[in-house]
Structure 1
Amino acid sequence: MKVPRKSPLTAVLALCLIVAGCSRPPANTWQGYVEGEFVYLASSQAGQLTELSVARGQTVAQDAPLFTLEARNETEAVAQANEQLRAARAQLADLGTGKRPPEVDVTRAQLVQAEADAARAATQYRRDELQLRAGGIAQSQLDDSRANALSSAARVRELQSQVSVARLPGRLEQIRAQQAQVDAAQAQLGQAQWKLDQKSVRAPHGGLVFDTMYRSGEWVPAGSPVVRLLPPENVKVRFFVPEAVVGSLAPGRHVSIHCDGCAADVPAVLSFISNQAEYTPPVIYSNENRSKLVFMVEAKPQPADAPKLRPGQPVMVTLQ
């Protein structure tokens, strides 16, 4: 039996169909792209950029220094707040100890002198009483001696009270007011220290330094990002699935990501499934064309695998 030979045109068409079939993605596989959620790191204070410790493409660890702004004014403010706090605390301690020992010693010396004067006055008063009985002095002289003795005794009691008061701490109201001054100085120091700390920014997470927006020596406004960081946990893959498939998906389902140049597929887990449908291409909705509805789905790889992917990179996602 003679087998009919195929014409050259038929062979070419068959080859085209085979190639087209091979280029078609397998079932449960869709095209997507890599996306990164960047962390823009800035200082709340303005200043000149004095040190940029990282470069684009560098991988940094958590708490690694990123950049430093000029901080002379903030440093002096911290020093001033420290001195004010030290002075407030010293005044509070002084109120709690009473007068200084040398001041108490002066009052005690005055008390010793007053006691001696009071003793002499009392002795003179007794003598004058005897002289008056003998008729040796007038009544007015005895009255003067009595007044001098009473005055000297009162002076002794006054100085004794001063010595007791000198040992006492300040009044409760004064101590409370000074404690409030100490608290205010402490708060002022905290504010000054916070502003100084803002001049040196460290990495809140480890990750890739995707870009730097300023060079050393440039003026950086407050709140303006200097470093754009991409932590590995912020890398994700976004793709779109048909309306007929989205109902079978749920967060936590495993997928594999294929990218050009990757040594092996990257495993990932579905992290988000959109509740809003989209059209591709744009059409007017009807029961006949609802198959053109697609839903956005996001998947996240493990942080260890995230550096294998680059934002904007096209990928193929296959459900497991």
Structure 2
Amino acid sequence: MIKRIAPLALLTAVLIGVLAYSQRATGPLKVSGFIEADEIRIGSRVGGRVAAVLVEEGATVAKGQELVRLEPFDLIESQREAAAQLAARQADLDRLAAGYQPEEIRQAKARVDQIAAQLEKLTNGPRPEEIAAAKGRQQAAEVELTLAQRTLDRASNLRDSNAVSQQEYEEADEKMKSARANLTVRNNELQLLEAGTRQEELDEARAKLAEAEAAWELMKNGYRNELVRQAAAARDAAQATLDAIGQRLDELVIRSPVAGVVEALELQPGDLVSASGPVMSLMDNTNLWVRAYVPENHLDLQVGQRLPMSVDSFPDERFACEISFIARRAEFTPSNIQTPEERSKQVFRIKATLVEGLDRLRPGMSADLWLGEIKQPSAKNADE
């Protein structure tokens, strides 16, 4: 009887052990989800008419690759004009910053000396020699007029007897008129010299001298600082205008911000696109992850832990993932939790980022995360 009881007791113990183990290992060792990626909607800040579409739907593109070009219209001409304006403003600034050339300064000094000499001459008045010379010219003009008048009188008498021609008479008359005009000029010249310099002439000469001296001082000292600053501000404004046009031209070429795949594209040359509106969408295949939900009784997870992942397309392979997110709040929670069995129905969302297989895996593939093969976080992740 005792021999029969012993095997029965051994069998009972084994069953109890198996049951206990099965109770501890409740829940699946894997959770399922789908591979996902960021969807990026690409557009332009300026909008316009489509000139060329350089990719097709489903194409793999590199970061920075040109996707769409918009027509520039008059922006190219505006850029040329802005560049010319910038060159002119820069030349003005360079000229002001460099100051005047030595030759310009010497010319300004020579003008000061010339006007100063004229003012001194006006201040001193005419010299006696100048007055005497003017009197001599006036007397010579009187003699010339007397002779011209006699010649005209003689020609007039001879004309009556037809001894001289009409042409000879007219020539004598012209010489007399010229001599009279010359005498008038010489009389005025002598009167001015005898009267001396007028006050208004002195005032005008002094004003010219002050103006010339101010110009000379400006050239010696260089341009005022405020003029240089104004020129620099004008140059900066021209540069800003050119940069703004350049940015608008850059916006006319829509480039891929990441390496990815063209997900949706409904665009043809000639289409109009609005400013800041999306023209296509890309899937960023450089950052893939699996979104899954883990039961509460398997939530002994940490961010940074690694675990394998499998997909139906490659059933015999495992791809490493790293847990990058664990939700702090449960989802799909029953309305009234009273028993441990109901608590096990709570799930927490996790995100596992792929660290390998990015060139072979695609968004939308169904994936299984194997929780039973989790590795502890690396030293780097642990420190973080």
Q: Same fold (TM over 0.5)?
A: yes
Shift of 1:237: 0.5
Partner of 1:73: 74
> Residues of 2 paired with 1:127 and 1:153: CA distance?
23
Q: Which of 350, 354, 365 does residue 313 from structure 1 map onto?
A: 365
2:336 counterpart of 1:285: yes
Query: What is the CA distance between 1:75 and its match in structure 2?
Result: 2.4
**Distance apart, 1:201 and its partner CA:** 2.1
Q: 1:98 to 1:126 in 2, by over 3 A?
A: farther
- The structure-2 alpha-carbon separation of the partners of 1:104 and 1:33, relative to structure 1 and needing over 3 Å to count, comes to same
In structure 2, the gaps of 5 or more residues are: 1-26, 133-191, 374-384
Report SS of the residue matched to 1:179: helix
SS of alignment partner, residue 167 of structure 1: helix
Alignment match, 2:223: 170
* 3-state DSSP of counterpart to 2:277: coil
- Secondary structure class of the residue paired with 1:39: strand
Cα deviation for residue 189 of structure 1 reads 1.7
Amino acid at match of 1:62: K
Size of the alignment, in residue pairs?
284
Aligned with 2:256 (options 203, 219, 234): 203
Other structure's SS at 1:204 match: coil
Query: How big is the alpha-carbon RMSD for the aligned residues of Structure 1 and Structure 2?
Result: 4.0
1:185 equivalenced with 2:238 (yes/no):
yes
Note closer, same or farther for the CA distance 1:242–1:153 as it changes in structure 2 (3 Å cut): closer
Larger-Rg structure: 2
Please give the residue correspondences for 1:121-200 in structure 2 after superposition, counting only pairs within 5 Å.
125=127, 144=196, 157=209, 161=213, 164-165=216-217, 167-168=219-220, 169-200=222-253
CA distance in 1, matches of 2:204, 2:117: 8
Is the 2:115–2:205 Cα contact (8 Å) retained in structure 1?
Answer: no
Q: 1:146-176 deviations in whole A, cap 9, x for unaligned?
A: 9899889959955862662573543332332
SS at match of 1:276: coil
Q: Distance in 1 between matches of 2:127 and 2:45?
A: 82
Task: Name the counterpart of 2:57.
Answer: 56
**Deviation, structure 1 residue 198:** 0.9
> Is the Cα contact below 8 Å between 1:44 and 1:222 reproduced in 2?
yes
1:92 is matched with: 93
Please say which of residues 288-297 and 91-100 is displaced more in the overlay: 91-100
Partner of 1:244: 297
Partner of 1:254: 306
3-state SS in 1 of match to 2:330: strand
SS at match of 1:275: coil
Matching residue within 250, 255, 271 for 2:324: 271
Moved more, 96-105 or 59-68: 96-105
**Structure 1 residue 231 corresponds to structure 2 residue 297:** no
Q: Do the aligned residues in 2 keep the contact of 1:115 with 1:156 (CA within 8 Å)?
A: no
Residue 13 of structure 1 is matched in structure 2 by: none
Letter in 1 for 2:348: F
**Higher helix proportion:** 2
User: What is the correspondence of 1:215-230 to structure 2 with a 5 Å cutoff?
Assistant: 215-230=268-283
Question: Compared with structure 1, are the counterparts of its residues 120 and 127 closer, same or farther at alpha carbon in structure 2 (3 Å cutoff)?
Answer: farther
Q: What is the Cα deviation at residue 78 of structure 1?
A: 2.1
Partners of 1:148 and 1:36 in 2: how far apart? 91
Cα distance between partner residues in 2 of 1:146 and 1:43: 76
Shift in Å, 1:114: 7.5
Instruction: Give the unaligned 5+ runs of structure 1.
Output: 1-25, 131-139
Contact 1:111–1:160 (CA under 8 A) maintained in structure 2? no
Asked if the contact 1:118–1:149 (Cα under 8 Å) also holds between the matched residues in 2, the reply is no
| TM-score, normalised via structure 1 length | 0.73
- Say if 1:156 and 1:32 are closer, same or farther in 2 by CA, change over 3 A: closer
Shift of 1:45: 0.9
Deviations 1:48-81 (A, max 9, x none): 1212222222222222212211112332332232
Kindly provide the amino acid, as one letter, of the partner of residue 56 in structure 1: E
Q: Which amino acid aligns with 2:311?
A: C
Which of 81-90 and 180-189 deviates more?
81-90
Q: How far did residue 47 of structure 1 move? A: 0.9
Residues in 1 aligned to 2:102 and 2:265: alpha-carbon distance in whole angstroms? 60
Tell me the equivalent position of 1:136: none
- Aligned-pair identity in percent equals 25
